[in-house]
Chain A
Amino acid sequence: MDDTGLLRDLARAAREEEAEERDRWDRWDRLTDGELSPEEEAELQELAGNSAESHQAYEAFRPLSPEFRAKMVAEIGPLIPPSVFVRWRDAFIRWRDAHLFFWRAAYSGSGLAAAATTLILVLRPLAPIPVYTLAEVIPGVKTERGEGAALFAGEPFTVDAHAEKKFGNGKAVEPYCFVKIVQPVAVHAAGCSALKRYENGSMTVQGRLPQDLPAGRATLWVVIAYPGHQPTAEAIEASPGALLQKRLSVTASKEIEIRTP
């Protein structure tokens, strides 16, 4: 075959391959992108239950967990040294937050209080976190999945956490999730991360319920905290209320009903 013929055939093969790949993987791609309707996803799950090949495809394309992405960020972050600009910008943000906090304290209290506040700020220059409230906890990886559906152990969930006051430092905090079983009381950590962050500090939190949860009533606790300042599972277990409000971490909870498949 001459070169022109070979290239022509290669071009044709590439076009055919692209069209076949598109047809073959379209629905699976949309599963990864979280774009399937609940009906379409149920259909794929049924398909996966009926054939080994579809089961493999379902497993390969179901979205990687938020914990995986968080792990990659933690792993990759140190590989990229911050530029001079970023170092100065972060220093400026810390200074600005401390400065604002100082003047608010000075304005509303005595000079002594301001001096004390300054000392605190030098030691802990992080802006305090406002109260967060949780919207309905919904199953699935996207908010379009529909509310009111059952939450199953081991399955993903999504919940919006609204900052009650504008919180400029929203990108510096992370969500941490726990499930508190009502009877007998037990707390399980649930992996979660911020799927989307909004300008006012609110965020859409996505996570996965632990596998070993018993069916029944429970509460989902979402802690918004500066990394390293989140409460422990023991603190949540010991808390009688539904809200743990601290300066560097705030916790909101929502009642949920766990079902087992």
Chain B
Amino acid sequence: MIDSNELQAILKRALSGDQAALRSLIDEITPVIQKRVARALLSYRQGPSAGRDVHQEVEDLSQEVLQYLFADNARVLRRWDPELGLSLLNYVGFVGERRAMGILRGKRSPWIDDPTLIEELPDQPYSGDNPERAAASREILRLLLDRLKEELSAEGWHMFDLLLPQDLTPEEVAQETGKSLAAVYQWQSRLRKLARRLRDELSNSNGEPQKP
């Protein structure tokens, strides 16, 4: 496996039109995209599409993701900035997963497929005291996480990951990402507002059909 510096050099050459480098880049990023696409597909695969050839479907989705990354002179791929602390493969994986989820969700929306989930939106933090309630809460939080991932940029998701699941202090995040402390606090506030908005949207939808 090639290291991140080498991969960065390959990306640079590929984006300047070097065909050999493009071939190497595709070889490196295709498995990452395939894994994310496969996970998304198996998580969302239901209904009429369940009868289709899975391998073909993964190939089609991977192709869509690659085309998306390289469209308009590789506009999306050029947005990757190594300074933000997210590796190129993680960035590609994130974009691939989100793109695949978007396409799959276009066919089927989990927000409207199970309205009971929305009715059970918790107003208290979930705990393990009531297993059924905890499971429902967990499911809703997963939906919220999915929505968060859809709303956030790759950078935003990276900031969420550092500040919340990894529980780093703003100072540590500033050091990790090279951002100013003020910028990190701004992200913290932005994430809080976004989480609240998404939760409210979920609460207010009441399971009524939404436009696709």
Residues on A close to B: CB < 8 A?
Answer: 1, 3, 5-11, 13-18, 21, 25, 28-29, 32-33, 56-57, 59-64, 68-69, 72-73, 75-77, 79-83, 85-87, 171-172, 194-195, 197
Contacts and interface: CB of A to CB of B under 8 A. Distances in A.
Nearest to A33: B31
Contacts of A197: 20
B125 A32 contact: no
B191 interface: yes
A197 B20 CA distance: 10
Given A6-B195, A16-B138, A59 B145 contact: no
Given A56-B42, A81-B73, A82-B17, A75 B138 contact: no
A128 to B, nearest CB: 19
A28 B58 CA distance: 14
A13 B23 CA distance: 38
A11 B195 CA distance: 11
Nearest to A29: B35
Contacts of A81: 17, 73
Interface of B: 13-20, 22-23, 26-27, 30-31, 34-35, 38-39, 41-42, 45, 53-55, 57-59, 62-63, 66-67, 70-71, 73-74, 122-126, 137-138, 141-142, 144-145, 148, 160-161, 164-165, 167, 191-192, 195-196, 199
Contact of A59 (B15, B55, B167): B55
Contacts of A195: 27
> A18, A73, A75: which has the most chain B beta carbons within 10 Å?
A73
Contacts of A3: 192, 195-196
